[in-house]
Structure 1
Amino acid sequence: MNKPVADHLLRPAEPFADYHANQRQRLDAAGEGRAQDAGARVGISLPHESAVLHVTGTATYADDIPELAGTLHCALGTSPVAAGRLLGIDLDAVRAMPGVVRVITADDIPGVNDCGSALPDDPILCDGEIRFLGQPVFAVVARTRDAARRAAALAKQVLRVEAAEPVLTPRQAHAKGQYVVPPMHLLRSASGRDEAGIRAAIAAAPHRLTASLDVGGQEQFYLEGQISYAIPREGRGMHVHCSTQHPSEMQHLVAHALGVPSNAVLVECRRMGGGFGGKESQSAQFACIAAVAARLLNRPVKLRLDRDDDFLITGRRHGFWYEYDVGYDDEGRILGVTLQMVSHAGHSADLSAPVMTRAVCHFDNAYWLPEVAMHGYCGKTNTQSNTAFRGFGGPQGAIAIENILDSIARRLGRDALAVRRANFYGQHERNVTPYLQPVRDNIIHELVEQLQASSDYAARRAAVAAYNADSAVLKRGLALTPVKFGISFNVKHFNQAGALVHIYTDGSILVNHGGTEMGQGLNTKVAQVVAHELGVGFERVRCTATDTSKVANTSATAASTGADLNGKAAQDAARQLRERLAASVAARHGGQAADVRFANDQVHVGGKVLAFNTVISEAYLDRVQLWSDGFYATPGLSWDKDRMQGHPFYYFAYGAAVSEVVIDTLTGEWKLLRADILHDAGRSLNPAVDIGQVEGAFIQGMGWLTTEELVWHPKTGLLTTHAPSTYKIPTANDCPPVFNVKLFDGPNVEDSIHRSKAVGEPPLLLPFSVFFAIRDAISAAGGHQVDPPLSAPATSEAILRALAAVRQAA
């Protein structure tokens, strides 16, 4: 008999456990307290450096900065059509609105009207060609934000446009051969770089699979929207407070827009209320507009978007469309595969090329592919220009191979985990990626084995089958999926960082580095690294706002490299200081500098124990330099972008997740009952912060694959899902009642910062297990005889469509 739908969906699969208390006990059992007493300041779960400020509401974000006298506010007038030409603007009505000080168009920009990240193809304000519905055409500067918005809302009335037929989907763009960058091709074959050999291997395989897949995009939905506050300074200078992941790029683009050198622009960011990639390149347009307005009026100007405008103007994760042809054997091992990926790039290049590159380099995920041909196309459409999003193409690449293996398993009547394991990279053979980087740090076999045991996968697989046999309406699904994610920017020169460390005469320490804090705990980890290196308490160290006048030419805080790069740079600076102090102490108190030890706010030298403050005071009197700069460049990287070969990643991060879901076959509703995660963070710098990142990434990725659906009107090109009322992100209620998250115990084989591993992006791939558990439950409705044609996001409507197809085919 069927259980009651409502009761079953709402009742936890197991009694709710105090997960965080259990984690605290586990971390204590690991000896964190003893490590801290021994002087360690890394590898322990210290609180986020701004935690108290966050919960008390005193953390300063860009909109919290006290406004200077005379501050004006800016709002944007946007295009009401998705494609066409701008014929003219009648601004008299806008200028006549109460409170309006000035209206700015492309002609008013003193420098270059472009804010493109990779190519000069992204105008700050529309200068003729209309590219998407929501494109900024003019900026209104007024005495209040409300007055500016009211005036900007007249855009539909004052813009004279000639509309054209928009291209709105990647399929349409591909059919027209319309791309923002040239196509990419990566081939690896035993017969050489010849696709004919790959197709021959597929044709000769015992089994063949030909199919397609659609995966949608995802809105970053940061809590703090896009905002810039520009303040004119003397001598043509400009100080811009900007919520951005890439202050140096904002500095360069603002300088270009103003027609001044970079040294005239200072960009500062203390913290962001989330970024997720959406503030890597796309904060530039708003920084440039605010700066141009501030320069023209010689008054401070603030530009803060509301949520609707943020959705309608900015881009998001690229949606992908795939077609693939696969040959495989009786065990489910892939013998050959050809893949075509077309991304939804939007109207300009932005970061679409590196996103596609990473997608191509992550199609293999954790699997050996002996014969493979990949073709990547970045479709140009009349929509917002899509951009970076946590994972940066990696999730879009890897989900394709997971869908292929899931289908192969169902066609062979085998457990999907067995098929996945049969295709895993080997330890000493079958261990070279399609782009020819050896996988030398492979721990996926051991990690998956541990998770399989700890999650009781085999017993639960049998229990799910028994449950489904007894339930006609409700169906359960279970899936275990792995992750292998490459860490480094896939543009070599971005893999560098700088830092400054100052020690003041009272023993307090100030750190400035090129990374940005968006809630992920970067400043916490960097402060821990510095405290550890100097042997002092964490409370002595303070990280200040990212500032282009302090550390220059920084890379974006992206690609999960924030702690890797900036932690190493700060460690370099702190180590130089420690060596200077050791030499100073040895000179004053005897002994060898190499024997001086710093720990627990004390300095041990020649049998003496000195307070850290005493050592600093003495060093100052001895005229020892108490500040230092540090630098780090990731070693061993190479990439040939034309041949798509090389060593683009310093190391790989691994992980795996098991998810169990239940679906209602009458309504398409579903619920995640339990998730078990084992993730590889190397020797974690801060286990509590890293576990939080894993949890957050899992839920965020689950939203991408299940509920967050983007819809454009098929005729007008209006993004209809442009507010929380129409776009559903996960909430606390979507978290599973049983959520077991652990970190894999093992150091990074590469010399990363304290042998830790990046943890920002890799765990976003873990909720693949949710999507394939839903697919497994749908498959159960047809007795596992039909491969469900499920697209992502797996909304209730998509689930019902897949169920209908399964039942019809069965």
Structure 2
Amino acid sequence: MSEFKLSGVLAFLSAKDIPGSNNFVPLNIEGALVPEEILCERNVKYYNQPIGIIVAETEKIANRAALLVKAKYKNVKKQPVFTIREVLDREPERVTVFIVYPARDRGLNVQRIMKGSNDIFDQYHYHMETQSCVTKPSEDGIDVVAATQWPDQVHVAISQVLNIEQSRINLTVPRLGGAYGAKLSRNCLIACACALTTYLTNRPCRFIMSMQANTRIIGKRNPCMVDYEVGVSDTGEVQYLEYHLYSDNGCIVGDPILLFGISAVKNCYDNRRWSYKLFNVTTDTASNTYARSPGELEAIAMTEHIMERISYELDRDPLEVRLKNLNPQYSDLAEIVAMLVEESEYNKRKEEVNAFNKLNRWKKRGLRVAMMSWPASTVMDFHVQLTVYHGDGSVVIRHGGIDMGQGINTKVAQTVAYVLQIPLHKVKIKPTEVSATPNTIITGGSRTTHAVCFGVTKCCQLLLDRLSTVRETLNDPTWELLIQTAYLRGINLQTSYRVTPNDEEIFRVPGAVVVEVELDILTGEHDISRVDILQDAGFSINPEIDIGQIEGAFMMATGYWTCEHLIYDKKTGELLTDRAWNYHVPLAKDIPIDFRVKLRPNSFNPVGVLGARTTTEPPMCLAVSVAFALRAAIVSSREETGYPRTEWFHLDGPFTLEKNVLKADVNLKEFCGCR
């Protein structure tokens, strides 16, 4: 092998070198569906699937040696399939029914029938810290520092891969440099490869993927397609809806993304007349995975797409159509919409946008809305441990949740300080460590922060119960005196609690947005002039963090709808947009010029921890309004070209510069003043 001629290369590891199971998705953990190979043993499932590991003295040498590896393939598939439509046309056997939800009613006032489809594509997570792991030999086995959202999966998988007991694996998870779902199940691939290298070489190993490797090997957000037929009344009220949603899982149905989409399909609407089927699809691409608001973003966006089309073809206000179909049980959302309409000056600005468009030919504005009722599940199983040091009364918390920028540690520390009535500086949060917080499930679904806050509240209450007998014997003691006295009297100053789904209830997160954009018809460039978001965060534990999360989620999804576009070689499946140079995310000038985010005032969630609701993922579903606003701007231009404003045009994926120009479909005669 030519790579071994390179100085500094130590070894090449393949599937045959794995002492245990060649699988990074252990089937004895909750949520695991099927095994997935660490290193390919026989049949290659997608372009750039890992087939081996180069072990070298430095990262630079390892990357250089990897480029020298020559692999020979045989029986290569001549016509691989990369999209849902290709599967439906050529390999329909790769489509499986996930769930069927029949209608419970059917309206009789059908005045218009609309049929159509819509495709949305994948999205790279673009976390600043790529998939990474560090391992080293230890006295009792192996030390692992992994960038994972799922410590239990990594812990169990490494044990099975190396065929050693879990008690010999010392796993620590520090704060992550971003994740957005990519490090839920996918980091385990890297962690297992890193641990395997240390185990076989008895040397420390640092495994950090380059951005190119990260984008090529790791799966993305599930692409989706919807086929629908909807019958409506003259006012836009749905009389019946046939809705088929297809989700592209990549080469294998691994992570159960559609599970999260089931309760999101209806969004905030009355779905009694809706009949929908959800399908899993496999393609010849990397196994796709969780991405911020997985399943929910796709399902809610597709439903909003249908509402948007109804408003166009009936030439009715999009907000009016949505309110006509709003589930009457969601009175909280109706209140939010009413408040948003007033504060955003929606009706006044609608007239201003129309006036602007009449006066300008090559610059057009669009004003659009989106609504959501985001389902917050109860995916939780976390150990929480509280320790108080008697010397100064300082408090240390260890918990199974992973901080990846969402502010979980800040909110947990605040909760402890609030319940114990001590200064915030007395509370410190330590990294997750499996010997202290074992068997921890995923940090995901936007429920982890509140689940852990619930757990530390229980720990604090247990501690306060123990301290109560000591407090009664002292005269208004300081915290430090109380703790020292309790210690001297033999009281245990450490408590723990395990948070499970039995501790919390499912709830929904309502929110709405009004977006205004200005589009240059000739170049396809646009500015987001103003965004007004009103979301229910309940009684927020930390409003500044929550508003930051809403802003960040909205912008991440804005990239999905405007500029993030993954391009694959149609013959091989090779990902061609694998760097920052050709995969574009929103930058500073893409942020709305006027960005107004507000939390619903005087709100309290009766089933939430301290009355709060989650904020980290729901706003992803509101950003589809940017796409709708761009469509409205394009429609205004098309109307001047001669197209009816009620004519719906088809556009799949993001509203990129090219698509904006092409869909405007300006007649060349317009440039010379001719008609």
TM-score grouping bracket, smaller chain normalisation: over 0.9
1:319 pairs with 2:223: yes
Q: Which one of the candidate residues 612, 616, 640 is aligned to 2:479?
A: 612
User: How far apart, CA to CA, are the structure 2 residues paired with 1:575 and 1:181?
Assistant: 51
Measure, in 2, the Cα distance between the counterparts of 1:804 and 1:772: 18
Aligned to 1:381: 283
| Mapped contact 1:654–1:679 kept (Cα < 8 A) | yes
User: 1:120 deviation in Å?
Assistant: 3.3
CA distance in 2, matches of 1:358, 1:472: 43
Deviation of 1:307 after TM superposition, in Å, equals: 0.5
Are 1:107 and 2:11 matched, yes or no?
A: no
Select which of 636, 655, 662 maps to 1:794.
Answer: 655
One of 321, 335, 358 as aligned partner of 1:419: 321
Alpha-carbon distance in structure 1 between the residues aligned to 2:421 and 2:362: 61
Normalising by the residue count of structure 2, what TM-score does the alignment of the two structures yield? 0.94
User: 1:503 and 1:516 mapped to 2: Cα distance?
Assistant: 22
**Cα deviation, residue 636, structure 1:** 8.4
Alignment of structure 1 residues 685-704 onto 2, 5 Å: 685-704=541-560
Asked if structure 1 preserves the Cα contact closer than 8 Å seen for 2:99 and 2:279, the reply is no
Which of 519, 522, 525 matches 2:408?
Answer: 522
Provide the TM-score with structure 1 as the length reference: 0.79
| Higher alpha-carbon deviation: 504-513 or 574-583 | 574-583
1:178 Cα deviation (Å)? 5.6
Cα deviation, residue 502, structure 1 = 0.4
The CA deviation at 1:495 is 2.5
The 2-side partners of 1:700 and 1:620 are apart by 49
Q: Which residue of 2 aligns with 1:188?
A: 102
> Which whole-Å CA distance do the structure 2 matches of 1:349 and 1:565 have between them?
28
Q: Tell me how far apart the structure 2 counterparts of residues 516 and 636 of structure 1 sit (CA, whole Å).
A: 19
Distance 1:160 1:181, change over 3 A: closer
Output the CA distance in 1 between the equivalents of 2:313 and 2:559: 28
Query: Residues 249-398 of structure 1 correspond to what in structure 2 (within 5 A)?
Result: 249-351=153-255, 353=256, 355-398=257-300
Check whether the contact 1:789–1:805 (CA below 8 A) recurs between aligned residues: no
Contact 2:380–2:448 (8 Å) recurs in 1? no
Residues 337-369 of structure 1: per-residue CA shift (max 9 Å, x gap): 111122221112221x3x112223211111112
1:306 Cα offset (Å) = 0.6
Q: Is the 8 A contact 2:137 2:143 kept in 1?
A: yes
1:173 Cα offset (Å): 2.2
What pairs up with 1:378-777 in 2 under 5 angstroms?
378-427=280-329, 442-489=331-378, 494-505=379-390, 506-586=392-472, 588-589=473-474, 608-635=475-502, 650-777=506-633
User: SS of the residue aligned with 2:62?
Assistant: helix
Contact preservation (8 Å) 2:387, 2:493: yes
Cα pair 1:635 1:650 within 8 Å, conserved = no
Superposed displacement of residue 773, structure 1: 0.7
Residue 76 of structure 2 is aligned to residue 163 of structure 1: yes
Match of 1:4 in 2: none
Tell me how far apart the structure 2 counterparts of residues 486 and 583 of structure 1 sit (CA, whole Å): 43
In structure 2, how many angstroms separate the alpha carbons of the residues matched to 1:805 and 1:749?
50
Q: Secondary structure at the match of 1:401?
A: helix
Q: Following TM superposition, where does structure 1 have runs of at least 4 consecutive aligned residues deviating by more than 6 angstroms?
A: 805-808
Q: Aligned partners of 1:223, 1:148: CA distance in 2, in Å?
A: 21
**Match for residue 230 of structure 1 among 135, 149, 165:** 135
C-alpha separation in 2, matches of 1:181 and 1:418: 37
Equivalent pairs counted in the alignment come to 658
| Matched residue, 2:29 | none
Shift of 1:546: 0.9
Q: What's the CA shift for 1:807?
A: 11
Q: Which secondary structure state, in structure 2, belongs to the residue aligned with residue 95 of structure 1? A: helix
Shift of 1:801: 3.0
Q: Aligned-residue CA RMSD in angstroms?
A: 2.0
What secondary structure does 2:38 align onto? coil
1:179 shift after superposition: 7.1
Indicate the residue corresponding to 2:66 in structure 1. Answer: 152
Secondary structure at the residue paired with 1:152? Answer: helix
Structure 2 unmatched ranges of 5 or more: 27-31, 640-644, 670-674
Q: C-alpha displacement at 1:410, in angstroms?
A: 1.2
Counterpart of 1:774, as a letter, is L
Following TM superposition, by how much is the alpha carbon of 1:266 offset from its aligned partner in structure 2, in angstroms? 2.5
The answer to whether the 8 Å contact 1:661/1:673 transfers is: yes
- Whether the aligned pair in 1 keeps the contact of 2:563 and 2:656 (CA below 8 Å) is yes
Deviation track 1:499-549 (CA, whole Å, cap 9, x = no partner) reads 000010111000000000101100101111111111111111000001111
Deviation of 1:693 (Å): 0.3
Query: Equivalent residues in 2 for 1:174-253 (5 A)?
Result: 174-177=88-91, 182-190=96-104, 205-235=110-140, 237-253=141-157
Q: Please list the CA deviations of residues 137-186 of structure 1 after superposition, one character each: whole Å capped at 9, or x if unmatched.
A: 1101111111111111123x244444223221122223345677842123
Worse-superposed segment, 749-758 or 507-516: 749-758
Cα pair 1:345 1:381 within 8 Å, conserved? yes
Asked if structure 2 preserves the Cα contact closer than 8 Å seen for 1:335 and 1:369, the reply is no
Amino acid at match of 1:683: F
Question: 1:583, CA displacement in angstroms?
Answer: 2.1
The alpha-carbon deviation at position 631 of structure 1 amounts to 2.2
How many Å separate the matches in 1 of 2:290 and 2:153?
14
The residue identity in structure 2 corresponding to 1:97 is: L
Distance in 2 of aligned mates of 1:270 and 1:179: 43
